[in-house]
A and B are shown apart, each in its own frame.
Chain A
Amino acid sequence: MATPVLDVHHLTVHRDAVAVVDDVSFSLAPETDTALVGPNGAGKSSLVQALLGILPRSAGTIRLLGHPLGPRGQLPAAVRDRIAYLPQTLALRGRIPLTVAEFVGLGWDSPGLSLPWRAGPGRAGAVRTALGSTDSRDLAERLISDLSVGQLKRVLLAFCLVRPRSLLVLDEAQAGLDSQATEHFHTLLYGLRRSEGWTILQVSHDLEMVRRTCDGVLCLNRSLRCSGSPDHALSPTQLERLYGPGYVPYHHHHPNGPAPR
C-alpha cells in the first residue's frame, strides 16, 4: 500500500489548558478527498492548524508525505512546498497593499531568505498559469483588498495551485460564499483535484456537498466520533451521535439559492 499523504497518531491539542482535540488518529491515502465535519467548537480548525504546525500540539505524532512534523512545526522545505493551506479568509488583507499576482507569487516562493533580483525561473509563468486555471487572470493587477469573497477564494486556490502540491488543507472553503459561488468554487476544486492529483482534507459544514464530492468523512467532536465513507459516516444515526439528539442534518440555506428539497 502507498505511503499515506498524512498520518496522524494520538494527536492532542490544548488551548488555554482545555483539550480541544483529544487523541485523534487517522491517515489519508493519496488522491483522496476527505471532509472533516462536526459541530461548532468541535476543534476542526484547531486540528487542521496543528497538522500544519500552526498550532502547537501537546501529544501525538504527525507525518506529512512520510516526514515527521517537528514539535515546533518544523518540516523540510521541499515537503512544505508540496503542502498548501487555504484559510477561511485573509483576515488582514486590507492592511498591506498587495496585488493578486504578487500574492500568488508568494505561494510559489520557498520560505527563507532570498535576493530580490533572483525571482527564480518560471515564477511569473507559474503565476499566470495558476490565475488562468482558476478563472482569475483578469484579477492579476487588482489589490487583494478590493476582491469580493468569491474572487478571493479563487485567488487563494491559485495560491495553492501555483506550485505542484500533494496535499491541500482547506478550512471552510465555502464560508461566506453564496450558492452560485460555492458551486463555481467546488467545480474548480473538483476539476483541479483530478488534474493535479491532489489529496484534500477539507473542513466543511456543507454535508450535502460532502456527500456528493468526498470519498471519506471524519466526524470530530474533540475526539474522532466516526469515520468512513459519506454514506456510513453521515447516516442519521451517526449524525445524531455527533451533533446530539434532535439534530436535523442541515442544508445551507442561501437567500438567493435554490429552494430546499
Chain B
Amino acid sequence: MSAAPGLPELLQLPFLQRALLAGLLTGALGGVLGSFAVLRQLSFFSDALGHSALLGITAAILMGLNPTLVLVPFAVLFALGVDRLARRSRLPTDALLNIVYSSSLALAVLALSRVRSYRGGIEQLLFGDILGVSWLDLGVILLLLLGCGGYLLLSRRSQILLTLDEPLAISRGVAAGSHRLLFIVLLAVVVAISIKAVGVLLISAFVVIPACASRLVSGHVGHYVLGAAGLGAGCAVVGLLLSAMLDLPSGPAVVAVQLAGFLVALALAPRGAGLAP
C-alpha cells in the first residue's frame, strides 16, 4: 500500500479544486437557505427532495442526457407537485413526504439496477462522488448562490415576518404564497445541484445541520443566517479534504464534520437555548 498523498499534492488536483470550490459554495448556499427552511419546518421536505432527485438522475441516465441539466427542472416540478399535494391532502405532511421519498428512492434504484450501461454505480449517487463535479456544475452553483443571496437579502424583512407569523406577514401585505413557492423552488434547485458531491441520502444535512448549529449560538437574525452559511461552507471544505486524504466517501465525511460542528455549538449554547419553545 502506497503512502497517502499529502495535502499539498492533493490541492494540485483539478477535480479536487473543483470539488472544494463546489463544497464551499453549496455549503454556504445550504446554510443560508437552511436557516429559513429549518425554522419553517421544511427539513423533512428537503429530505424528500434529495431522495427524489435520484429519480431525476435515473431519468437522465435512461435518456442519455446530462444529469445536472435534467435534475434542476425535475426537482423544481417535483417540489411544486409535492407542495401542492401536501397542502391539498388531509394526511399528515410528514407521512406524505415519507411516501414520496421512499417510493422515489425505490423506483430509482429498481430502474438503475436494470441499466447495464450505467458505469457510475449506485453507491456514488447515494453517498456522493467527489470526482463528479464539473465546471458546468460550478458555474450553475455560482449563479444560484448569487440569485439566492440577492433574493433573500432584498426580501429579508418579508422572510423574517413569514417565518415569525404568516398571518401577520400577510396582513402587512407580504405575498406569502409567491414567497413560499419561490423559496421551495430555490430549495429544490439547491438540493439538486448539491447532490453530486454529497449524495442523495445525506443532502438534507447540508440544509439542516449548519442552520441548527448556528441557531443554537445566535442571538441575532443576521448572525444566525451568516453563521449558518459560514458553518456550511467550512464543514463542507473540511469534510471534502478529509474525504480526499483518507479516501472516505465524501458525503458522510462532510456530514460527520457538520455533526462535530453541531456538538460544539450545543456545548457553547446558552443554557436552555436549544430547548426554548
Mark out the residues of chain B between 93 and 131 whose CB falls within 8 Å of any chain A CB in the assembled complex: none
| A97 close to B173 (CB less than 8 A) | no
The chain A residue sitting closest to B223, CB to CB, is A97
- Residue numbers in A under 8 Å from B177 (CB-CB): 72
Mark out the residues of chain B between 165 and 217 whose CB falls within 8 Å of any chain A CB in the assembled complex: 165, 167-168, 170-175, 177, 215
| A111 close to B174 (CB less than 8 A) | yes
Given A85-B168, A96-B39: 20 more A-B contacts, CB < 8 Å: A80-B173, A81-B173, A85-B167, A85-B172, A87-B167, A92-B165, A95-B39, A96-B164, A97-B220, A98-B221, A111-B158, A111-B172, A111-B174, A111-B175, A112-B155, A112-B173, A113-B155, A114-B154, A114-B157, A115-B154
B92 at the A interface (CB under 8 A): no
* Distance (whole angstroms) from the CB of B77 to the closest CB of chain A: 23
The interface stretch among A29-37, A49-57, A125-133, A206-214 is A49-57
B6 at the A interface (CB under 8 A): no
Distance, CA A53 to CA B173, complexed state (A): 9
How many B residues, CB 8 Å from partner?
A: 30
| A73 close to B170 (CB less than 8 A) | yes
| A113 close to B154 (CB less than 8 A) | yes
| B215 close to A97 (CB less than 8 A) | yes
Known contacts A54-B171, A115-B154, A116-B156: A99-B164 contact under CB 8 Å: no
B160 at the A interface (CB under 8 A): yes
Distance, CA A30 to CA B174, complexed state (A): 26
* Distance (whole angstroms) from the CB of B39 to the closest CB of chain A: 5
| B167 close to A49 (CB less than 8 A) | yes
| B170 close to A54 (CB less than 8 A) | yes
Distance, CA A116 to CA B149, complexed state (A): 12
- Residue numbers in A under 8 Å from B215 (CB-CB): 97
B276 at the A interface (CB under 8 A): yes
In the A-B complex, list the 7 residue pairs whose CB atoms are closest, starting with the nearest: A85-B171, A80-B173, A111-B173, A113-B154, A95-B39, A54-B167, A52-B171
The interface stretch among A101-109, A177-185, A230-238, A240-248 is A101-109
B161 at the A interface (CB under 8 A): yes
* Distance (whole angstroms) from the CB of B246 to the closest CB of chain A: 37
Q: List 10 A-B contacts (CB under 8 A).
A: A73-B170, A85-B172, A95-B164, A97-B215, A97-B220, A97-B221, A109-B157, A111-B172, A112-B158, A145-B277
| A143 close to B221 (CB less than 8 A) | no
The chain A residue sitting closest to B217, CB to CB, is A97
